[in-house]
Amino acid sequence: MKCVEKAVQPDTVADMTGMVVWKVVKTPAARKLIMSIVHAALKDWSGDSKLKMRMSANVEKIFDEVLSTKDKAAAKITGDVDYAEMLRPGFREIIENIDFGELKEALDCSQDDITAVVKMANEEMWRYPAKVVCLLSLLPSVANTAVSAVKETLTPINNLAPDLLGDVVLSLADEIDGKNIGLVINELCEMVRKIHTGSVLLGEPGKPQSANTLSHFMNETMSTMDINLLLKAKAYLAEIKEMALQNLINLLEQSPELSREFFQSHFVSLIASIRKWSRKADAFERLFSDEDIAREFARGMSEIDAQEIAGTISRLCGMLNRVRATTPGIIRNTLSQTINSVDAVEVGETVQWFTEDVVESLKPVATEVLPPLIRGLADLLRPNSSGIPAEIADALEYLKNAINSKEAAA
């Protein structure tokens, strides 16, 4: 060991712990459990012997008398036993006599030694690779045993009638104390709020301390990571996901009924999402007035950093422009290959009926929707105080020539 270990008053700690355990053993619930164990053990030992039965009865009586005796402190307790208060003095003495600082120091000093012991154990074990392989081969057996145990546990449960099983499960759920769960969530949220407030107070203006701590942690972590290996592992996991999906598709191809359920699951998810937003909108309409909705919407929009969004769009466009300048044909070739591979007849038919359906569906609202859209487009094309911009003029002229040349060709 690299650090000299200091005694943490082991005798006192052991005595206090023993006293607490003894007081727990003498409680009615623990005494009943111990007496049941003693009775079963003596019954198994005595068998059919009458002599052993009499001896067992005397021993059982002695155990009961010993566990039934009360000390002066316990004699003062009347009515229901307050186990927490009974254990408080012993527990307090244990806490008072343990030096937690020394415990932490001992743990900190033992870290390197524990690591060295683990390293030594692995080095010695791997001197016999066959034994290590045999040891690792136990893992599938353990997993199979656990799965079998779970299956055997669930099978009789699922043999119950649905109403009986539902009644049991729902009754158990009713016994869960939801109020305490809510209080726990409140305490966790309050803890997060206080940590955030403390981070703001400890950090510099505009930069909470949590940002510095997280940045330091991430820098230390990322500096020791093999990023290339991480990306390869991520790609491999993506391949596993793709193989799992392919296996699922193969299974669906063998089961038409399962395929139909899988197909409908996409619509179920879409409907659930629409229903969720519908309920949110309904709740907002019932809870807020028009002024409240306008105020909250404005408050939310004010949190959006418009300059950051514009900067992001500009940078993305700049990247695309540099890609286009460096490799002029890459995007055009990709698009051309995609378009050339498309079945023009199928796409044309889809666009035709889709356009007809959309137009037919929009006719009831066309008188309300189209006028502002047309006026808005006209306002964008209309000359301003400095005249019509050259780019817009060229585009309009180009459109006019295209229309005229088509009319002339007709």
Look-up: residue for tokens 């290339």?
A: 228
The answer to whether the CB of 20 falls within 8 A of the CB of 84 is no
200-239 pLDDT, tens digit each: 999 888 788 888 899 889 999 988 999 899 999 999 999 9
Tokens describing residue 68: 């039934």
- In what helix (H) or strand (E) does residue 305 lie, and over which residues does it extend? none
**pTM exceeds 0.75, yes or no:** no
Residue boundaries of the structural domains of the chain: 10-159, 351-410
140-170 pLDDT, tens digit each: 999 999 999 999 999 999 998 999 999 999 9
> CA-to-CA distance for 38 and 346, rounded, in angstroms?
84
Q: How long a stretch of residues is the chain? A: 410
**pLDDT band at residue 85, thresholds of 50, 70 and 90?**
confident
What secondary structure letter does DSSP report for 205? T
